[in-house]
Structure formats: C-alpha cells, structure tokens
Amino acid sequence: MNDIRPARWTRRHLDLISETTASTVPVVTGWPAPRVLPHDDVWDLWPVQEEDGSPSTVLGRELWMGLSAPADGHPEDRHDHARLRLLARRGEAWEDLGHVFADGASAGSREWSGSAVRRPDGTVSVFYTVAGTRGEARPTFLQRVAEARPRLLTGDGRIALERDVEHREVLRSDGHMYLPADEIEGGPGRIRAFRDPGWFRDPADGREYLLVAASVPWRDRFEGAVALAEARPGGWSLCPPLLVATGVNHEIERPHIVVHDSTYYLFFVTQRHGFHPPGSAPTGLYGFAAPALTGPYRPLNGSGLVVRNPPAHPDQAYAWLVLTDLRVVSFLNYRSRVGEAVGTLGAAEARAGFGGTVAPELKLTLDGLGASVAW
C-alpha cells in the first residue's frame, strides 16, 4: 500500500462549485423536528454493518449507532459529553437501546464518531474515536482509534450489547506521515484530526481497512486528509493518505467508501468554516471516485460537491453518510443563519435554533463521475 498516490483536492476543483438542484437539498419545514431521543441530542449516525457493508438487521430492525449527549446548555458543548448510543430503526421509527458502553468503560473523557461491523461469531467490532483521557479535569483533544468487541445479545426479544468487554487502542497518528492529534486547547474546526474510523472490506481482495480523518504535515494549517490503515497480522498498519486537501480545507470528517457498479466512491463531509478562506465553499457531502481502493481518485461533479444545504440555511444538516443502497442519512444542525455566529450566541439562543435529531433521508444517484440527490 506504500505506492498510493494521494488525490489532491484543490482550489481549481472548488472553483467549479455551482448552486444546482442536483446537489442542493430543500429547506426542512416543521422545525423543530420530532426528536429521536426526547432529552438527548443525537448526531453523527452510522449503521452496524454486515461484512458486505450493508446495514445489519436484527429482530426485524436495523441496528444503528450515533453520538448522544444531554440536550441542555449550549449545543456546541455536546462534544465535551459525547457518548456512543445504540439505536434500532424500523422504517421511520427509532428505538433507544441505551449507551453502547458502560459508564467509564472507554479510555477517554468522551467518545466520538466511528463505525461498527457485525462478525460471524456473534460479536460486533465497534471502532470509535477516544477523545481526551479518562478523569481529566477539563476536556482535551487527544484523539486515537479504539476497538471494543461486545457480543450481540438478543434474548427475550431484546437487543443489547455485552457490557464487560476489553477496549483496545488500535491506531493513532504516527507523527510523521500524519500529524499528532494531541492538542490541549481547541474546539470543532480548530484542531488537528485523527478520528472517525470508517470500516471497509475491499471486495477485490477481502482485506479489512479503516479510513480515518487525519491531518498531514504538507503545507500549512489547512491540512485535512483521508488516512488509510490496513489490517495485518498483529494489528493495523498506517498507509499513505487516499486524499489530501492541503491549502484548501483544514477539517475533513467521517470518510467512508461505497462500491457501486464496480467503482469505489470515497465520501467525506466538511463544514464551510473549515475552508480557506472560511466560507469559500459550502458545508456539504463531498466525493471522489476511482476504479480501485487505492485510486486514482477524481472528484465527483468536477468539484467534489455531492450534497449541500440550501443557501438560506447553510448549516441546516451535517454529517451525511452514504449507505450501500445509496440512502443518505444526516442530522439536523442549525436552523436559518444562526450557525454563522453560533460560538458568540448564548446557550438559550443557540439551542433554540439547533436540531439535534435525525434529518430527512436522501437518496443518491451515481453514474460514473456524476452524482445527484433526491429528497
């Protein structure tokens, strides 16, 4: 895997972005939307996958995970209290199955996004971002990837995950190919990344990989990248990045791959304040396509843009994730233009404009290097 030549996401690509109905979703009506959890915010959802990548169905319900935190205080503070939540979905109805891990089980002060795969032996590999350190006085931004492998329990018609399991750190930035994500001070959009592990099994060779949102020491602070790690005997091994946005974007998030019509589609999300200069491209789902896992990748729609929020509501939704059947899930973020200055707003005003629940589902159409979305 050391022969990977990373794709470059450049200003030349971003200059091709235009507002079209093929990529722009309509305004969500009926705000505030019904909440998945009445007393908790929910964001950054992902399915428990089968090993072919499809969502896992148990007792007639799809199994999902997401981040959750109590729905009080300033919405941006939720990242300092984030826990993984297990959810079941039947159609449009969601069921809360509780926290994925027992209190204090993970190695950090909170749990950030990841992925999960159901194994043939009845366990679930849960890959997630360990943020901070257990027991720290205030949240720091050390990030590394951990795995827990609880058994899936379905006795008496109930769905649960085993609680007493080992949590192992399986991957962290090497400090050379990828910058260390170890800052003490910071916040969303202002820190280096080594997080959001996305599990993927390559149908071409059956091998397992993790895609990780990372930062590379290539140019300046706008150094976002998609890292790749390969499962080998004895652990995970870092490979060169699949994509770099150095000089263009600081914070690529939630990278994942979907194989459709023998083409590898690499998707990721980013927010408008992560671009250089800030706001020079929209918050959205972006994508590249290649004939193989290692590339060469070219941007979808010329620019890479696949889904964007309506300009009147630029922060309406975020954290889009494309499933193998091309459904697209996300969460409702900020209503209207409140997100433009959310850091300067008081808790009450910011919370009044925050969604904190699942957004209406989209459906993607892919045709070679073309992508369009339907509401």
Q: What is the pLDDT of residues 102-147, one digit of tens each?
A: 999 998 999 999 999 999 999 999 999 999 999 999 999 999 999 9
Q: Could you report the per-residue pLDDT of 230-272, keeping only the tens digit for each?
A: 999 999 999 999 999 988 999 999 999 999 999 999 999 999 9
What DSSP state is assigned to residue 186? -
- Distance, in Å, from the CA atom of 228 to the CA atom of 4, rounded to the nearest integer, reads 10
Cα torsion 277, 281, 287, 289: sign:
negative
Q: What angle do CA 38, 40, 41 make, to 5 degrees?
A: 110
At 336, give phi and psi (nearest 5°). Answer: 55, -140
The residue whose two tokens read 């998707």 is: 267
pLDDT band for 162, please (50, 70, 90 cuts): very high
At 155, give phi and psi (nearest 5°). Answer: -70, 145
- Distance, in Å, from the CA atom of 287 to the CA atom of 335, rounded to the nearest integer, reads 25
Q: Is the pTM of this model over 0.95?
A: yes
pLDDT at position 151 over 90: yes
Tokens describing residue 263: 């083409």
pLDDT at 186: 72
Cα 228–chain centre separation: 15
pLDDT band for 30, please (50, 70, 90 cuts): confident
Q: Could you report the per-residue pLDDT of 325-371, keeping only the tens digit for each?
A: 999 999 999 987 766 677 778 999 999 999 999 999 999 999 999 99
H or E, element range at 349: helix 347-352
